[in-house]
Amino acid sequence: MTNYRKEFERWLDSPALSDEEWHELDAIRDDDDEIKSRFRGPLEFGTAGLRGVMGAGLARMNIHVVRWATQAFASLIVAEGDEARHKGVVIAHDCRINSPEFAREAACVCAASGIHVRLFESLRPTPELSFGVIHYGATAGINITASHNPKAYNGYKVYWSDGAQLPPHHAEVVAKNMAAIDIFTGVKAMDFDEAVEKGLIEIIGRETDELFLQNVLSQAIDPEAVKAVADDFQVVYTPFHGAGHILVPEALKRLGLKHIHPVPEQMVIDGAFPTVESPNPENPEGFYLAVDLAKQVKSDLIIGTDPDSDRVGVMAQGKDGEFHTITGNQMGALLADYVITARQKNGTMPKKPVILSTIVSTSMTRTICEKNNVAYGETFTGFKFMAERLAKYAAEGTGEQYLLAFEESYGYMMGDYVRDKDAVTASMMIAEMAAHYYQKGMTLLDALDALYAKYGTFVEKTVNVYMEGVDGPERMAALMTGLRSDPPTELAGQRVIRVRDYKDGTVTVPGLGAVERTPISGSNVLYFELEKDTSFIIRPSGTEPKIKIYILAKGVDKAECQARVDACSAAAEALGSK
């Protein structure tokens, strides 16, 4: 741990601080806990970059930390050689408070290292940043975003030349570079206007939007289904004040939809997210304005994208007239079945089709794939792992072509033009699928019931156990250590059959010990297989102070599955009190 009092005083004495920053720190001079929280150590740089609460301090997101991280990242690029500098970086940002300023400062630091920068003129969806890296042949990308986190957060996401988030070995280099660079005196930045004049910073915008949209529309499988219902089919859309506000409605329009109803209050770009407590499309309470509008315009479909437009949430109207959330797992299953059947129908199924998901996502997708002779691939949570799997397929040259990649946390990816979650393409595909079912007189909820009848009943739930405060990381680590050293033999009244420890790859059976190994390893995840086709999976979040617990149940009866999930949920909540 850093000598936090000494670091605090160093910041107070630094001429790099603005008057506002100095007063912010001076105000906490007598609050040791707050000083410790801000200066106990830097935000940890990993494959997802940085993410944290905004404010002055070493463990906060601010202009100094952004410059510092960028200098370390720029050193990595420079070390790759002159060609890497010329290929340069693409930089984007979302709607959050300070995001435009952070993006501009990152551009100035890169320019000072002789790295060519393509900087988006204004906020853009995260998938377009991934697309930009691939399309322009850039060495890397930087995105200033905290995705779906609350308004107090911001973040710094980094990408490599494949358009995916930074590989672990490069992230380690950046972290080491940061440790060797002084946050104030070790950073060099070029004047923005000078960098533009010298051609080191190039502003990009609408031309890249157009290229991205062309690729998005190329994923449409059956646009005729949309045209057949376009005169009547209604869609309500909300960007939650964020970066999907232009491209998602445009993609839906080009798909052929005629009646798209954006939520006016949430089309306003505002990093304070004034209409919602949390801009996370996983939270149904944020859709209240969209529900009101949907009832007014008589729409049975609502689509919502998070502030950086990489996640998409959907609500559909039930037979009771109310709107119900379609979870990320349910949408993944719906899309998997639709993409497979639509491609089979129009003859565009590749010879070796694959669908990718994660170890914490619904097992329904595996069943769908098995029933339709489609290969199923499983990775750790995070699209960087899916991108690695796709790169492996390409390197092996065995002909696998993926149709869809998704994870339970409302993220979906299609096509070879992005290597991250893509709510723009997903919104378009969801609308096409909904139109297909609309033509049959079905909502997406009806379609989900039809899948359960066809493949069996699957119920899932994610429980978040928050461990905030200075001791949060230690409590999270202690919980995982305790579960490893003394694993339960029973959870929620259900016997533990096997335990998969994805950290070291061991698979153990209570009473027998280690019996085999997991196909993948190296992630801090414990997977408890319970009797009656139930799973209890636990892992620390990489972006928030919480433990995530995933509960998966399979059976023939929804009520019985739900009872198992509810019992496991109670057991999950109880872990937070230990």
Q: Which residues, 6 or more positions from 139, have their beta carbon under 8 angstroms from its beta carbon? A: 77, 80, 84, 85, 87, 88, 89, 115, 160, 161
Element (H, E) at 405: strand 400-407
Token pair of 491, please? Answer: 């959870």
Q: Which residues does residue 412 pair with via DSSP β-bridges, in sequence order?
A: 406
Count the Cβ atoms, other than its own, within 10 Å of residue 196.
17
The SS3 of residue 459 is strand
Maximum distance among all Cα pairs of the chain, rounded to whole angstroms: 70
Q: Which residues does residue 506 pair with via DSSP β-bridges, in sequence order?
A: 501, 517
Sequence-ordered strand ranges (E) for 437-577: 457-466, 490-491, 494-501, 506-509, 513-517, 526-530, 534-540, 546-555
Numbers of helices and strands, H then E, in the chain: 20, 23
How far apart are the C-alpha atoms of 273 and 240, rounded to whole Å?
7
| Nearest in space to 93 (alpha carbons), one of 110, 106, 76 | 106
* Residue carrying structure tokens 């940085």: 50
Catalogue the active-site residues.
147
Expressed in percent and rounded to 5, the helix, strand and coil fractions of the chain are 40, 25, 35
Establish how many alpha carbons lie within 13 A of residue 163's alpha carbon, considering only the half-sphere containing its beta carbon: 25
How far apart are the C-alpha atoms of 504 and 404, rounded to whole Å?
29
| Nearest in space to 38 (alpha carbons), one of 46, 47, 49, 26 | 26
Classify burial at 79, counting beta carbons within 10 Å of its beta carbon; exposed 0-12, middle 13-18, buried 19 or more: exposed
What DSSP line would sit under 500-518, residue for residue?
EETTTTEEEETTTEEEEE-
How far apart are the C-alpha atoms of 395 and 405, rounded to whole Å?
19
End-to-end CA distance of the chain: 25
Instruction: Indicate the angle between helix axes 444-455 and 364-371, nearest 10 degrees.
Output: 70
β-pairing, 140-144 with 89-93? parallel
Altogether, the residues listed in the chain come to a count of 578
- Give the gyration radius of the chain's Cα atoms: 24
How far apart are the C-alpha atoms of 313 and 299, rounded to whole Å?
16
Token pair of 571, please? Answer: 């057991």
Instruction: Indicate the angle between helix axes 423-439 and 247-255, nearest 10 degrees.
Output: 40
Degrees to nearest 5, angle at CA 197 with 195 and 199? 70
Q: Which residues does residue 376 pair with via DSSP β-bridges, in sequence order?
A: 355
